[in-house]
Chains A and B, each alone.
Chain A
Amino acid sequence: MRYETSALSDGVAFNEGTSLLVSGPSTGVQEQVYDLLAERTDSAGTAILISTDRGAPEVVRSFEDRDAFDAGRVAFIDCTGRDGPEDEQGAPVRRLGSPGDLTGMSLEFAKLVDRFEDAGRGDRVRVGLVSVSTLLMYTDVRTAFRFLHVFTSRIRSGGLFGIFAMDPGMHDQKTVNTVRAVFDCEARVDDGGEADLRGSGYTVG
């Protein structure tokens, strides 16, 4: 089983357990990650989105805009610190006080994966984190690197597909190079929204 997509370019398929970094200007990158997550509806897939910037209602709208909202197949971790209900139009929402609460993030993620597993939908999970750039404002590079390393290891062992957003323009080059080393592959998105894919863990065509 693989994670197929046409969001980046036609006929790309990611291997189970792969973690992809989508890098480029914030807005374009966010849209790409949502596109990639929204494609999960093609089969029995599910999606978990960890959002540091958009609140849950806005996240749901982003899925709806793509005709990809299905309350039983998506779940959100809202790290914006905003209060709100524990579901958004029926989809589970876990709330964290800050994007810097890494333990809380991993705990809620683990619970949501378990929840999908209990429902027999745990093996085709696309996991999005938007964005690593915001995370880096709340934690030092070393902690972020180690967190992302363990996170991508968990994605690998679970056969999930990880999709992480970063805006290199927000960080110094050394930080960008350090963070990028965690991922199997990277899609560099230019100002026009075109993606250039490199690395391993996928096939084209």
Chain B
Amino acid sequence: MGSEEPTVLVVEDEPPLIEIYARWLEADHEVRTAQNGDEALEQVDEEVDVALLDRLMPGMSGDEVLAEIRDRAPGCRVAMVTAVEPDFDIIEMGFDDYLTKPVEKETLLETVERLLTRSDYAGLEQELYALVSKRSALQSAKSTREIAESDEYAELEARIEELEAELDAALPDMESGEFVAMVRDIETNADEEPTMPEGDVPDPFEDEADDAGDEDGENETGGSTAGGGDR
């Protein structure tokens, strides 16, 4: 149950505030709560999509908890809840966004939503790179005519356009803080994941590899006409 809903962890030492935030979020999110750093770490796992973290909790500091969350749930986006408007400092400290107290319902829901969107955006963007990179390889390796006749190339083009539209729609008014946090994520990931999971990305060289196999003299007659041979 509820596995489709994004999970939000609220870390806040004042129980009345926890209650309010949870009530606002419950309609569309799976909500977990914690009153201090230790409890927060008990609640954090890879299921948590967004954490709202009060910076000034008794016991463990928000910064310490942040570091642990980053470790245990790398995909989790963390917004700092703070009494003072923090400017870009929070991005440099490793947070993804912030909420200034007193937090209003709309602001809270909007911030959670944007943080979730940002995760989607990063995924789409990695897919875009994979596709554009494949298209570029084709552009450099094939003649204009071969490209014009290639169904894979046409499919690739269509999917790239689709992705670009999705990306444009995802974060229509990207703000400065958001931009910096996204670049920071890209730079952090640069060393960690040199290759992305290929997933559904069509491989335009697949056929070529098959063709090459045939030329190697394997005696499967009609192999080069692919599925047509059976009929």
Contact = CB atoms under 8 A, between A and B. Distances in A.
A161 to B, nearest CB: 16
A174 B176 contact: no
Given A106-B180, A177-B136, 16 more contacts: A102-B183, A106-B184, A107-B91, A107-B180, A110-B179, A114-B176, A143-B186, A149-B128, A150-B182, A150-B186, A153-B174, A157-B175, A173-B136, A177-B139, A177-B140, A178-B129
A105 B173 CA distance: 20
Interface in A158-205: 172-178, 181
Nearest to A175: B136
Contact of B186 (A107, A110, A114, A146): A146
> SS class of chain A's interface: helix, strand, loop or mixed?
helix
A34 to B, nearest CB: 25
B215 interface: no
Interface centre among B125, B137, B140, B179 (most CB of A within 10 A): B179
B201 to A, nearest CB: 14
Given A107-B91, A140-B190, A146 B180 contact: no
Q: Classify chain A's interface size.
A: 20 to 34
A157 B173 contact: yes
Nearest to A142: B129
B179 A106 contact: yes
A139 interface: yes
Interface centre among A143, A150, A173 (most CB of B within 10 A): A150
A154 B128 contact: no
A178 B132 contact: yes
> SS class of chain B's interface: helix, strand, loop or mixed?
helix
A27 interface: no
A157 B114 CA distance: 15
B172 interface: yes
A69 interface: no
Contact of A103 (B133, B136, B171, B187): B187
Interface residues of B, number: 33
Interface of A: 102-103, 105-107, 110-111, 113-114, 139-143, 145-147, 149-151, 153-154, 156-157, 172-178, 181
A65 B187 CA distance: 36
A174 B174 contact: no
A174 B126 CA distance: 17
Interface string B133-173: 10111011000000000000000000010000001100111
Contacts of B110: none
Nearest to B136: A177
Interface in B195-218: none
Contacts of B187: 102-103, 143, 147
Given A102-B186, A107-B92, A174 B140 contact: yes
B24 interface: no
B88 A107 contact: yes
Contacts of A110: 88, 176-177, 179-180
A141 B180 contact: no
A177 B147 CA distance: 14
